[in-house]
Structure 1
Amino acid sequence: MWISFVQSLSGVEKKPDQVTIPQLLKAGFPPHLAAAWKEKSKQAPEKFLEWKKSLKGKEAALVSKVWKEQEITLYDNKQKFAGNKTLPKNKSSLSKEDNTKTKEGFDSPSEIFFGMSYQNLDVRYLPRKEKNHSSVFLGGRGKGQIWILEKRDEEFSYGVNLTYQTFRFTSGNRYKPIPHFYFAKDPNFYSQLERTGSPLPQPITLSNFFGYRLLVDTKEYELGIYHANAFSSYPGLYFVSPNKSYSGVWSGGDNKSSLYINDAWNSKDWGTHRIQSESIYNKQESVGFVYLKSESLESKFILDATVYRDSPLLYGMVSPDEVRPQIPQNLGYTRMSFKHLVGSEFLSSIEGHRYENGRSGFFPFFLSEWGNLIYRYREYNETGNYHWNEIGRAAFYEWRKEKAVVSFGFESRENGGQWEGKLAIPFGTSNLLEFSGIFREGQPKTRAWFENWTYATDFNINLNDRAEIIKLKWVSPFISLNVSYSEKENDPNPILFINFQLLQKIDL
């Protein structure tokens, strides 16, 4: 059938808008990619080609394959574009690789992937089974289907994501149609390699989803039913918006729900704005966060604001190297700046009977193309334990260029001080090396404002009273390494956390 489909179109050039959605779906396109093709085909040829070049991984391979097989042309000069090359109309000019056929004819791109992960949490008071965790996995995907077999510690698990026309079925311990991080999270594992086109989303506990994918005006919506005992003992409903910008789950038996938001808006007059949020609503206790970021034109004015509720209920859902709270904490933080040079910060936290808040201002006293020297004045207030107020005065060297950051300095307080530093180096578009640390001296009675590694959001800040924290992160499409070391004051039991993940893909 697939051979006849290709042969029936052989030798006939087409414009992108002449390819129908059923033809794209038959060629292995997921509905959202087919919808994007149709939407972009209505725009100028240059826009369509720009969109084609922006695709990555499997989506790029699917578009390129249909492009060649359908003999797509953008212009009326009887030439067609394939990838970055301009090819003549004669099919014999195609490379042998382009004309390769499998036994079933022209097949959709497929791949086998495999890898492993290992983590060690070296803490004296934890039992051995909670310190070390390891996994190995093998999987494959093609024609819009994906499967995986895993061994997590001593347990075997599986995961499948199957699509047929407008229906989706996911089952097992890896795949789900919703992008939530907290939902049914496996407490002993997490994926640092989750990104667009990756076959490794966050590990989950046993869950099953069955849904219907609805295409409305070139946009794909999905809704259906699910059951995940780790989230709720009752089955429920789920919903996913186009591009997975919004999704939610709801279980009626215990009225438990979870909401996910990841959306952005661009305006010629008002700049770029983004919101990220994830929350779990429960009668027992609700947790979650909201993060907002706004940037003016040319990123001159920048606003970051985050509010979250952290509690023991949440832990086991996130990476175990974080200090687990004993009681819930509500925290809010806002930072406003002009080109990261002049600005102010505000923080407020309620944790049981402990209240902390503060504010700060910073400005440069030396500017150069090689970096800037920044002065920061910050007020710290604590009530509940010490009823203490103190002033921090800090000087920093800082250099920023796009996503690259170099920053280090020292803050002096009445009862001590702290060294702070951060280094972020992106390599290309998909590799990041990041180092951050804080070293506290003396006996500061208020905690440090420390930017954590993030999980479901691009930014997170927390209060930390550890005397020393060192964190190293390296992430690429195929390898991930996280190392964290921290010490408490007057405590002989430091915490060392190491997590290594490897992913290898082989195209077939």
Structure 2
Amino acid sequence: MWICFVQSLQAVEKKPDQISVPELLQAGFPPHLAAAWKEKAKQPPEIFLEWKRSLKGKDAALVSKVWKQKQITLYATKQKFAEKGKSQSESDPQTNRNHSEINKSKNTKKDLSLSTNTTDPPSELFFGFTYQNLDVRYLPRKEKNHSSIFFGGRNKGQIWIIEKRDEDFSYGTNLTFKQLRFTSGNRYKPIPHFYFAKDPNFYSQLERTGSPLPQPMLYTNFFGYRFLNEGKEYELGIYHAASFSSHPGLYFVSPNKSYSGVWSMGDQKSSLYINDSWNSKDWGTHRVQSESIFDKKESVGFFYLKSESPESKFFLDATMYRDSPLLYGMVSPEEVRPQIPQVLGYLRTNFKHLIGSEFLSSTEGHRYENGRSGFFPFFISEWGNLIYRYREYNESGNYHWNELGRAAFYEWRKEKAVVSVGFESRETGGQWEGKLAIPIDPGNLLELSAIFREGHPYTRAWFENWTYATDFNINLTDRQEIIKLKWVSPFISLNVSYSEKENDPNPILFINFQLLQKFDF
């Protein structure tokens, strides 16, 4: 009977790395979550467990579902038998005391270590390069072309990098020792901010979980203390970044880096970052992303909210941002430097992506634009839907004009995959719009967005755009033609953007290519 019990355990037990990608996708995993599972499965059990506990919302539910269905185990069967033997020996007081002391010692060491050794990937070397070209006739040559090459490595929670950006050499290092962390140079920082001390000529599209390439920065130094509170790790310290503020300041990071902020004591300048989600059985799943720089002279930033009903039938997307010349090269490197700040707000609600409404409002200097929209299907099938949309466009400041746009679209959506193409007709012209987002395989995503305007519309087009910071963003454009192509994988990133303005013989072409190659040792 005992032998049968052992055999039954061995028959159903599975390690995380024994679950194939097709099995994960069949269970409903989106590609990015399947890729993260396979990456963490190659690492020690403690790291996989830490990653599982850090998940929230729908991702956490999917992982827990597969965990139960596949009866995942992180440790060998013999360890379970050892634990069973331990429980059988509980009648021996001396044995109990020994086990208690051993466990207490292990827990104490675990609490005191607080090292990234328990969450960092295996030791590795990495190298790569980036190339960027912005072909605009009236820009100085030094602002058109940028390139970099880098080489680095990490081992036991320590990481370093040496870079050559254009003609300048730089370095970056992230050192941890028990509760202490020290970062220095032009690459690493304990906070996940994108705007903070951003190098305006470079950005990383390869920043993701487990990547050694966070956003390139101008020179900074951070020194902090990491501590546990109710089993969660926080970090508090001091920093100095001359490009952000001439005065030193304080920084704070919450568990999972869901919240972080910096504050400069001298000039009262600060920056706040939020990336959090909540999952409620009754109220659905909600995600918030935000980053802002608060300054007495000029504050900038964005806020994004995404909500889904418990049955994923009702959706809400809301975004608001304020850009300015301060953010040139930070949010959309391919765009021309804005001359004046713009404040834009956008809200979209819909049922199963079929019936919904949109609202937009923008203030840019003395130019004010707003509009509203409604859409509904007139044909539905498993191969896609035909959707009718109307929009009301209003503009004041230049033309004092309002008009109605009527559009018909074909759309197909599933998870992160989107196929959409359609034409909108207005009184002063019309426009073709298209969106394409295809997860090729885990960790690889191909995106294409385009717009072609005909005639001479007085109001700008609402152009859906994917950006670094958020899942979704929208901006206004008066360009006659825009084509954007993006391909992102764990080791390659390609961004191509082409646009033309009305009555302007100078088109704008932006190309950015990034490569990252890693070697474990």
For the 8 Å contact 1:371–1:400, the answer to whether it is kept is yes
Identify if the C-alpha distance between structure 1 residues 358 and 218 changes in structure 2 by more than 3 Å, giving closer, same or farther. Answer: same
Q: Counterparts of 1:152 and 1:227 in 2: how far apart (Å)?
A: 22
Q: Counterparts of 2:416 and 2:249 in 1: how far apart (Å)?
A: 40
The equivalent residue for 2:243 is 230
Deviation at 1:76, TM superposition (A): 6.1
Deviation at 1:38, TM superposition (A): 9.2
Normalised TM-score (structure 1): 0.81
Deviation at 1:297, TM superposition (A): 1.6
Identify if the C-alpha distance between structure 1 residues 139 and 497 changes in structure 2 by more than 3 Å, giving closer, same or farther. Answer: same
For the 8 Å contact 2:334–2:510, the answer to whether it is kept is yes
For the 8 Å contact 1:187–1:318, the answer to whether it is kept is no
For the 8 Å contact 2:252–2:262, the answer to whether it is kept is yes
Match 1:126 to one of 133, 139, 158: 139
The equivalent residue for 1:377 is 390
Residue identity in the other structure for 1:163: T
Pair 1:267 & 2:280 matched: yes
Normalised TM-score (structure 2): 0.79
Pair 1:116 & 2:129 matched: yes
For 1:381-392, what aligned pairs fall within 5 Å after superposition? Answer: 381-392=394-405
The equivalent residue for 1:297 is 310
Match 1:395 to one of 386, 399, 408: 408
The equivalent residue for 1:449 is 462
Q: Counterparts of 2:287 and 2:310 in 1: how far apart (Å)?
A: 14
For the 8 Å contact 1:190–1:319, the answer to whether it is kept is no
Counterpart of 2:326 in 1: which secondary structure? coil
Match 1:253 to one of 266, 270, 276: 266
The equivalent residue for 2:203 is 190
Residue identity in the other structure for 2:156: K
Pair 1:353 & 2:335 matched: no
Q: Counterparts of 1:47 and 1:418 in 2: how far apart (Å)?
A: 45
Identify if the C-alpha distance between structure 1 residues 71 and 156 changes in structure 2 by more than 3 Å, giving closer, same or farther. Answer: farther
The equivalent residue for 2:336 is 323
Counterpart of 1:313 in 2: which secondary structure? helix
The equivalent residue for 2:324 is 311
Q: Counterparts of 1:270 and 1:47 in 2: how far apart (Å)?
A: 20
Q: Counterparts of 1:298 and 1:167 in 2: how far apart (Å)?
A: 44
Residue identity in the other structure for 1:228: A
Q: Counterparts of 1:108 and 1:482 in 2: how far apart (Å)?
A: 27
Counterpart of 2:149 in 1: which secondary structure? strand
Q: Counterparts of 1:430 and 1:410 in 2: how far apart (Å)?
A: 32
Stretches of structure 2 that go unaligned for 5 or more consecutive residues are: 1-42, 56-62, 86-119
Deviation at 1:457, TM superposition (A): 1.7
The equivalent residue for 1:141 is 154
For the 8 Å contact 1:35–1:219, the answer to whether it is kept is no
Identify if the C-alpha distance between structure 1 residues 219 and 337 changes in structure 2 by more than 3 Å, giving closer, same or farther. Answer: same
Counterpart of 1:112 in 2: which secondary structure? strand
The equivalent residue for 2:171 is 158
Identify if the C-alpha distance between structure 1 residues 435 and 74 changes in structure 2 by more than 3 Å, giving closer, same or farther. Answer: farther
Deviation at 1:453, TM superposition (A): 2.6
Identify if the C-alpha distance between structure 1 residues 341 and 148 changes in structure 2 by more than 3 Å, giving closer, same or farther. Answer: same
The equivalent residue for 1:420 is 433
Match 1:177 to one of 190, 198, 202: 190
Identify if the C-alpha distance between structure 1 residues 37 and 323 changes in structure 2 by more than 3 Å, giving closer, same or farther. Answer: closer
Identify if the C-alpha distance between structure 1 residues 74 and 487 changes in structure 2 by more than 3 Å, giving closer, same or farther. Answer: farther
Match 1:429 to one of 442, 448, 452: 442
Q: Counterparts of 2:388 and 2:52 in 1: how far apart (Å)?
A: 50
Counterpart of 2:216 in 1: which secondary structure? coil
Deviation at 1:50, TM superposition (A): 3.6
Deviation at 1:111, TM superposition (A): 0.5
Q: Counterparts of 1:461 and 1:373 in 2: how far apart (Å)?
A: 22
Residue identity in the other structure for 2:449: S
Counterpart of 2:311 in 1: which secondary structure? helix
Deviation at 1:394, TM superposition (A): 0.1
Counterpart of 1:297 in 2: which secondary structure? coil
For the 8 Å contact 1:35–1:220, the answer to whether it is kept is no
For the 8 Å contact 2:331–2:467, the answer to whether it is kept is no
Task: Please report the RMSD computed on the Cα atoms of aligned residues, expressed in angstroms.
Answer: 2.7
